[in-house]
Amino acid sequence: MVVAADSVQIDPQGLSKVEELFNQQIEEGLHPGASLGVYRHGKPVLDLQRGYADKYTGKPVFPDTIFVMFSATKPLAAACIHILWQQGKLAWDDPVAKYWPEFSQNGKGSITIRHLLTHQGGFHITPDEFTWDKWRDWNAVVQTMEGITPTHSPGSVIAYHARNFGWVIAEVVQRIDGRGFSQFISEELTAPLGMNDTYVGLPPSLEPRVSKIHAMEDADRPEMADDYNHPEVHQAVHPAGAGIAPARDLARFYAMMSLDGTLDGVKIFSPDTVAEVTKLQVEGTDITSDQHVRRGLVGVLGDQRMGSDDIKTFGHGGAGTSIGWADPVSGLGFAYITNGFRANGTNVPRLGAMSRAVRGACR
């Protein structure tokens, strides 16, 4: 516990139950280690980091251990576009090619910023030959994104852009602002907010602090866990899936969003911007997962992993491991990052259980 529970209308016994569940999930072998951060009304109430960072060597999770967030990184990437929109430097329905002319190749000229943020661009498939060992080469990233041919016309389907989402956002940011993505996100978002251990493009010297990802017994994509254990992936600019942070940092981002864009006197967004990016943009079946989704410009609106299907709750999960969300109604900012990569059948319930336990502690 970080602050007095009574000061933010949290039941101390409820928080104790959250901590018990946190420990129980580790003891039951749902994952070797985990990181949990919770804010309420802008105040930190939980910061838990326990278990094994590497169960094979016995290395424990330390207070300064940092975790691969997978796609829980995506709202941070989207926030960089939101900052540029707030500054009047782009519009949602501007074509990406307005700022990056070469992107228009192979029928991508009409893909807009809105299509990109809502996964309606139709270019969701990353070429098989563009493997993890090439992601650190930014020129190769740009050329690959320029060369992709969409499989669907823009706006015709919802199709999750698992990796391409972040790479295109990063190049758009650099084309408009001039700074590289890692510098932009640090100077405009993470450093001002005090998210001091959040990286998209990890400095090599910090590699020993990164928790290993463990493919659990039911992992349906164990090779993905293996790929994202490579230092080259951690050090790449991969804003859709390779952000690295402790849960306390990610929860801090969502605490800011739950308070209309300002936290501890630091204003990242105006209330109007938060309202704009969190409203419903598209709803329907995502053809990549065959699941019903609701999306705003910031991410997913309400789902089981967040412990609520209310679209006023918004956030994003990370493949097989994690979830972060904000609920402005309850004043919660939440992040739960595990290092155990699981299939949806066991991942969704464990994340949802933790989200519900935190909600249940509120009064």
DSSP secondary structure letters along 139-198 = HHHHHHHHH---SS-TTS-B---TTHHHHHHHHHHHHHHSS-HHHHHIIIIIHHHT-TT-
Answer yes or no: are the C-beta atoms of 303 and 177 closer than 8 Å.
no
Instruction: List pLDDT tens digits, range 239-258.
Output: 999 999 999 999 999 999 99
Q: Which of 47, 57, 55, 43 is nearest to 3 (CA)?
A: 43
Report the pLDDT value the prediction gives residue 7, as an integer from 0 to 100: 79
Instruction: List pLDDT tens digits, range 58-82.
Output: 999 999 999 999 999 999 999 999 9
Q: From the centroid of its chain, how far is CA 307? A: 17
Give the dihedral sign, CA 284/289/294/297. Answer: negative
Instruction: List pLDDT tens digits, range 267-282.
Output: 999 999 999 999 999 9
Longest dimension (CA), the chain: 58
Answer yes or no: are the C-beta atoms of 141 and 174 closer than 8 Å.
no
**Tokens read off for 337:** 């990052």
**Tokens read off for 186:** 């640090």
pLDDT at 326 over 70: yes
**What is the rounded average pLDDT for all residues in the chain?**
97
Rounded distance between C-alpha atoms, residue 157 and residue 16, angstroms: 44
**Burial letters 281-308, b for 16+ CB under 10 A, else e:** bbeeebebeeeebbbbbbbbbbbbbbbb
Q: What would the mean pLDDT of 131-147 be, rounded to a whole number?
A: 98
**Tokens read off for 74:** 């995506």
Q: What would the mean pLDDT of 339-362 be, rounded to a whole number?
A: 98
91: pLDDT confidence band, cut at 50, 70 and 90?
Answer: very high
Answer yes or no: are the C-beta atoms of 330 and 41 closer than 8 Å.
no
Percent of the chain with pLDDT over 90: 97
pLDDT at 99 over 60: yes
Answer yes or no: are the C-beta atoms of 338 and 31 closer than 8 Å.
yes
Within 8 A by CB and 6+ apart from 26, the residues are 32, 33, 34, 50, 51
